[in-house]
Amino acid sequence: MKKSNLYGLIALALTLVMIFSVAVSANASSPLSAEEIDGILNTTTDNSKTANPVTEAVSKVSQSVVVVRNYQRSASNNYYGWGWGYGYGNGNGNGQTTERLAGIGSGTVITSYGHILTNYHVIEDASKVTVYDGKNEYEAMVVNYNATKDIAVLLVPGLNIPAVELGDSDQLLEGETAIVIGNPLGEDYMRSITVGVVSALDRELQTRTVDRYGRRENITNTMIQVDAAINSGNSGGGMFNILGQLMGIPSAYSHGSYFSGDAESIGWCIPINEAKPLIREALEKYDGESVQPGTVTPDSPLTNGTDMTDKPRLGITMTTLSDTNTAVVNGVLPRGCIVREVDASSPAAAAGIQVGDIIVEIDGVIITDASELQQEILKHGAGDTVSVKLYRAATNPLEAQYISDIGEGEYIDLQVTLQVVAQPSAKN
């Protein structure tokens, strides 16, 4: 017999002996003793050996990410007209409104005073914004925002949640670890953690969005691309580095309106340095002795029966241009009050307000209907100067036969010095 065959037989024999021995050993103690069972089950894991920079960062910052709730008022109204003709789509219903939870996003606590960073689209159109920390719900104030950059700063005075440290997003490196914490798909998945890498920096992402007055526009923002999973509800949360520093705000992912096409592992975060100017403004306005929780919208509008005798006015006739107006629905015109007439000797005429202009803001307060405009004007006396922002289309909307005739326009800022003027009907 050849040596090679002999060696093969010997190896096979040894293998059979080992298998037989293991089988005998496995069945040697039956039933198993309590000591043997304890030896199998009573094990420990040494966290000092499994811990890594990601787990250390998460332990520092995860409790600083909160739920942001967006409440909105809805009304049951009977509408007449189709939105561009008679009535401009104004409601003529019973006036009953209810406040309901409209959306949920994420936010990150960034100061020990209760400032929270989130996305503007998380709190957009809210009548009330609250913050939920997993146990309690707190009413929040919106103290600063930029709709174009999709950033908002909230304030919850006395919020007892640790603040995270802000990083320097200009120092990010491609391939660096990206830790995303937020509330994907709502509160059931609160403070979920996903981990990936920074896929790319300085990505220009063009989005079609709606400005703060309801008019559609195309904007381009510079974003951080990551492959950590980002889903609906993550918006406004935190993108951290392994030091636990907040480096970005998760804002969009590869599905839906933010991105044309459908792709996996593409998420977008706003660099934290883009938010720092807004945070600075919010901190400069902060007064710890006077802040009180509040809501996003102004106080309740005045009733139609308000006595305007001897009150300063703009001197215009106007109509509310609401969300139901066809031009507003299509994003051609913003919400606000469209000017139908201007008195020749009025403060409005002196400031340059024209028929067809749409007033969208008074002294920084967004105007969505005539009663809100009236309320802001009544805060002032004769001789006071107010800041008026209006939208002026290329063609007077009141004269346009079709929406396509209106064309592009521009926002204009004017200063109007109020005076007491005669009070024709339906004027303000």
Measure the CA–CA gap between 234 and 34, rounded to whole angstroms: 48
Distance CA 348, CA 354 (A): 8
- The answer to whether the CB of 248 falls within 8 A of the CB of 275 is no
Whether the CB-CB separation of 67 and 146 falls below 8 Å is answered with: no
Q: Strand, helix or coil at 295?
A: coil
Tokens 């030896």 -> residue: 39
Q: What SS3 state is found at 105?
A: strand
Backbone dihedral region for residue 244 (phi beyond 0: left; psi -120 to 50: alpha; all else: beta): left
CA-based angle 186:187:188, to the nearest 5?
95
Q: Which candidate, 373, 369, 391, 389, places its Cα nearest to that of 313?
A: 373
Closest by Cα among 80, 148, 81, 161 to 115? 161
Token pair in block for residue 212: 């703060």
Chain centre distance of CA 414? 29
β partners of residue 71: 101, 128
* Residue 179 to residue 202: CA distance in whole angstroms: 18
DSSP output for 228-247: S---TT-TT-EEE-TT-EEE
**Residues tagged active-site:** 121, 150, 235
* Sequence-separated (6 or more) residues with CB below 8 Å from residue 243: 57, 165, 167
Listed in sequence order, the DSSP H helices in 291-367 are: 326-329, 347-351
Q: Are 213 and 409 in contact (CB under 8 A)?
A: no
**Residue 256, Cβ neighbours under 10 Å: how many?**
10
Q: What does the alpha-carbon distance between residue 207 and residue 212 come to, in Å, rounded to a whole number?
A: 15
Count CA within 13 A, CB hemisphere, residue 61: 32
Round to whole Å and give the CA distance between 209 and 217.
6
